[in-house]
Amino acid sequence: MLLERWDHAATRVSRAIAALIVTVMLTIAFAITAASPASAHDWLIHSDPADGVSLDAAPEQITMSFSGNILELGTEVALLDAETGEYLELPEQPSVAEGTVTQPLVPLGQGAYVLNWRVVSEDGHPVSGAIHFAIGTEVITEVPRAAANGDESESNAGPMMGLLIGAGIVVAAIVVFVIVRASRHSKTADDTASADSVTIAQTSETNEEQSK
């Protein structure tokens, strides 16, 4: 009777632990997914000049309009020569007015350029991108490797989080399997022990009757 009660208690504890582990892993997976770049954050809806345009004359500034208000803190802009990948000095910091970012430019000559930008949306999540444009020539989209490193961590965030979620689910499944298997093994061992006890008791009774 005592072994049976212990077995039921152990089974309930094992199931509770398994349920807790699954709940925790699902919560972590949901949190990571909600924090990924795929979730709904502010995005660039318009820029002047637009991405991929070739201009006849150099612009005096670049403006970017976003879907929501942009935080001034964390706004970064970098202008690159698309042929060499070298950074060009900008005359001043970008200005932020609600959902619009304005970046003044130095006088630019003929050539292809890339404006890398990074802003912080209303929900506090950083968003980044690039605007490719040219003056009196063709637009270059294949920027030298040294210039593209700034956005590499952002581009790899999605696949990395997917791997983390998958690994977490696999670990949770393994833990649940081990707990359930251990519980079944314990129950089998208890049943065997109980059966052996009954057999021993019956044998003792038989021997006592025969001795009488």
Q: What total number of domains does the chain contain?
A: 2
Report yes or no on whether pTM surpasses 0.85.
no
19-48 tens-digit pLDDT: 666 565 655 555 555 444 444 578 999 999
What is the average pLDDT score of the chain?
A: 74
Residue 97 lies in a domain: yes
Q: Are residues 109 and 136 in the same domain?
A: yes
142-198 tens-digit pLDDT: 876 554 444 444 444 444 445 555 556 655 667 556 565 666 655 555 555 555 555
Report the chain's C-alpha Rg in angstroms: 33
Q: Are residues 168 and 145 in the same domain?
A: no
Q: Which residues pair with residue 47 across a beta bridge?
A: 64
Q: Are residues 61 and 116 in the same domain?
A: yes
pLDDT value at residue 41: 78
The Cα 80–Cα 101 span in angstroms is: 18
Q: Are residues 22 and 73 in the same domain?
A: no
Residue 135 lies in a domain: yes
Query: Which CATH number fits the domain that encloses residue 120?
Result: 2.60.40.1220
Residue 138's domain comprises: 44-154
Tell me which H or E stretch contains 154. helix 152-155
